[in-house]
Amino acid sequence: MKFGDGVEASIHCAALLAGLDDDATIPGSALAHRFGLSPSYLQKHLKALTSAGILESVPGAAGGYRLARAPECISLLDIVLAIEGRKPAFRCCEIRRRGPERLPASAYAKRCAINTAMLRAEQAWRAALGAERLSEIVAEFQHNADPRSVAASNAFLGRHRRPQKPAAAG
């Protein structure tokens, strides 16, 4: 199983955004710069995360991105599915039925054992990623990472944080 680079970028962005307080946002261009990514490349993934309800996009000159829900309510599986899609990683094409020595369809009444094993393995990794919460990853980073890395992340948030004005009472 191989995930695209967008999964790593998306998890890093979400983890960084988890450090924002209030309703502040970070511009997508700043996130791209922070991780050395093309802004257009990252924008595609930020849009997918927004469509999945993981991020919220705030428009305007002072806008940017923030988490749409609490970090403890976001799993790694949520992020992976937003970026990679929901289709199974393994798709059985029933190649056992092909070839010059084909058997009648009745010979294949039972499900392909390879397909069954692959689907079982996929269920296991999806369950494992579903159990991993963004809040736990952020807490582990804050506790175990090199203090210089934590300080750099905090400094980035301080430099690029865009406070949002509260909505006017109507």
Looking at residue 62, its pLDDT comes to 86
Looking at residue 61, its pLDDT comes to 86
CATH code for the domain defined by 5-160: 1.10.10.10
Mapping DSSP to helix (H, G, I), strand (E, B) and coil, where does residue 8 land? helix
Residue 167 has pLDDT above 80, yes or no: no
H helix or E strand, kind and range, residue 127:
helix 113-131
Q: What is the pLDDT of residues 71-98, one digit of tens each?
A: 999 999 999 999 999 998 889 999 988 8
Looking at residue 58, its pLDDT comes to 95
Q: Name the token pair of 50.
A: 């927004």
C-alpha closest to that of 9 among 29, 33, 35? 35
Average pLDDT, the chain: 93
Looking at residue 2, its pLDDT comes to 80
Q: Is the pTM of this model over 0.85?
A: yes
If you ran DSSP here, which 8-state letter would residue 61 be given?
T
Task: Summarize the confidence of residues 135-147 as an average pLDDT.
Answer: 96
Looking at residue 168, its pLDDT comes to 56
Q: How far, in Å, CA of 147 to CA of 137, rounded?
A: 16
Mapping DSSP to helix (H, G, I), strand (E, B) and coil, where does residue 48 land? helix
Task: Summarize the confidence of residues 29-58 as an average pLDDT.
Answer: 97
Looking at residue 3, its pLDDT comes to 87
